[in-house]
């Protein structure tokens, strides 16, 4: 009986681990998307500044 109970608690802990891993993956996905959006925004802003500098030189 004790082994079955231990097995059951192990299954619960594995389930908890899976939930934590799922949460971590979703959290990292949000962070990555925010970083990508920020970098693309900065790249576009830098590109616009360079375009203005080229126009001013002309």
pLDDT tens string 9-57: 554 556 778 899 999 999 999 999 999 999 999 999 888 888 888 888 7
Rounded CA separation 15/18 (Å): 5
Q: What is the DSSP letter of 45?
A: H
**Model pTM score:** 0.52
What pLDDT was estimated at residue 36?
Answer: 97
Rounded CA separation 12/18 (Å): 10
Beta-strand (E) ranges in the chain?
Answer: none
What pLDDT was estimated at residue 47?
Answer: 83
């Amino acid at each position: 009986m004790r082994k079955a109970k231990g097995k059951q608690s192990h299954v619960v802990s594995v389930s908890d681990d899976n939930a934590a891993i799922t949460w971590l993956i979703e959290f990292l996905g949000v962070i990555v998307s925010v970083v990508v959006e920020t970098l693309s925004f900065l790249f576009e802003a830098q590109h616009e500044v360079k375009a203005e500098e080229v126009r001013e030189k002309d």
